[in-house]
Amino acid sequence: KKDQFIMGIETSCDETAVSIVKNGREIVVNVVASQIESHKRFGGVVPEIASRHHVEQITIILEEALKQAAMPIGDLDAIAVTEGPGLVGALLIGVNCAKALAFANGLPLVSVHHIAGHIYANRLVKEMEFPLIALVVSGGHTELVYMKEHGHFEVIGETRDDAAGEAYDKVARTLGMPYPGGPHIDRLAHEGSPAIDLPRAWLEPGSYDFSFSGLKSAVINTVHNAEQRNEIIAPETLAASFQASVIDVLVTKTARAAREYGVKQVVLAGGVAANKGLRSALTAVFEELPDTELIIPPLSLCTDNAAMIAAAGSIFFEKGQRADMTLNGNPGLEI
């Protein structure tokens, strides 16, 4: 059987990315242009600026990917693109680029859900085995997803308010750190100890849902109360205490889901999967559960990229799923 080559295109937020993946598992090229520097001074992603950067970058990144791959477009089997969720203006750039490429070259078009992409980043590390549970933690999402086979996604728990990454970014802002704050809090947390007892939102017994807004408010209140009493709380103590609370809930619920669903694998996905504390806490817990294999992608595949879109697209392409020229960016797409 001849090799399969899928091009992935991702523009849902603030990364313009194009990748080519061989046989769904092997990265041929993975080009990512980050816009973080342009959004930093606004303390978050500005949608209009994101769209403009994508327009400027997309053809450059596309040409760079094809040059690095040293392969003609005609050798591709399909174009896979993020349909949603994300910023509508940002999504539209990738979707229209993918449609134009597919139309001009007579290639099949495959649409991919951004979160399915994050989950399939794991297939670039190791073959997936089912059933599995994916812990998806990013700036926009916090979800536990049960997969009984390829392409089957059942959300068994999700955040009821802030996403984990969003909570990280807001707490970081309170502590005066630049956007995105996750990596800064992560670094600071390792310099302090979790001496402050912050809340953990377990919710109803048995629930796999999450809630981080109460924790975020607790951190902000702790800072303000200390200021009023002219006390100073070490930022590393706050960061460590906040991180301990987030990780405790994420890890406990993931381990419980893994046991209840009797899964073969647990896979980690999304930008917050880059968190060192989360990675080591999950590793420690699953060392005690030897029947469940834990997969954690390298940092470059945790944050937004197009290799994960191509990896997911490869499976959907094999299943015969096709998008047509009516494909549109869908900011609220459900998995």
Instruction: Tell me which residues touch ligand KG4 (CB under 6 A).
Output: 13, 138-140, 165, 168-169, 180-183, 186, 270-272, 274-275, 303-304
Instruction: Pick one of Zn ion, ligand KG4, none as the site partner of residue 329 (Cβ within 5 to 8 A by kind).
Output: none
Least distance between Zn ion and beta carbon 215 (Å): 22
Residues 128-147 that bind Zn ion (CB under 5 A): 138
Report which residue's Cβ sits closest to ligand KG4: 271
Q: In 3-state terms, the chain is what percent helix, strand and coil (to 5)?
A: 45, 20, 35
182 among annotated binding-site residues: yes
Least distance between ligand KG4 and beta carbon 325 (Å): 27
Nearer CB in complex with ligand KG4: 91/107: 91
Least distance between ligand KG4 and beta carbon 250 (Å): 11
- 235-261 helix and 182-189 helix, angle to the nearest 10 degrees: 100
Instruction: Pick one of Zn ion, ligand KG4, none as the site partner of residue 5 (Cβ within 5 to 8 A by kind).
Output: none
Nearer CB in complex with ligand KG4: 36/195: 36
Quick one: how far is CA 126 from the chain centroid? 18
Beta strands 265-269 and 293-295, pairing class: parallel
Nearer CB in complex with ligand KG4: 138/292: 138
Nearer CB in complex with ligand KG4: 15/77: 15
54 among annotated binding-site residues: no
304 contacts Zn ion (rule: CB under 5 A): yes
> What is the rounded CA–CA span in Å between residue 269 and residue 251?
13
Instruction: Pick one of ligand KG4, Zn ion, none as the site partner of residue 165 (Cβ within 5 to 8 A by kind).
Output: ligand KG4
**Tokens (6 digits) for 169:** 């970014």
> What is the rounded CA–CA span in Å between residue 295 and residue 268?
6
Least distance between Zn ion and beta carbon 302 (Å): 9
186 among annotated binding-site residues: yes
Contact 156, 257 (CB under 8 A): yes
Grouping H, G, I as helix, E, B as strand and the rest as coil, residue 106 is coil
Grouping H, G, I as helix, E, B as strand and the rest as coil, residue 163 is coil
Residues 45-84 that bind Zn ion (CB under 5 A): none
Instruction: Pick one of Zn ion, ligand KG4, none as the site partner of residue 6 (Cβ within 5 to 8 A by kind).
Output: none
Contact 297, 122 (CB under 8 A): yes
**Tokens (6 digits) for 55:** 């327009």
Closest C-alpha to 245, from 180, 171, 176, 174: 171
- Residue ranges of the alpha helices (H) in 137-234? 164-174, 182-189, 213-228
In the block, tokens 């309170």 appear at 174
Instruction: Pick one of ligand KG4, Zn ion, none as the site partner of residue 97 (Cβ within 5 to 8 A by kind).
Output: none
Question: Which residues of the shown chain bind Zn ion in the complex (CB under 5 A)?
Answer: 138, 304
Query: Which residues are part of a known binding site for substrate?
Result: 136-140, 169, 182, 186, 275
Query: Which residues are part of a known binding site for Fe cation?
Result: 114, 118, 304
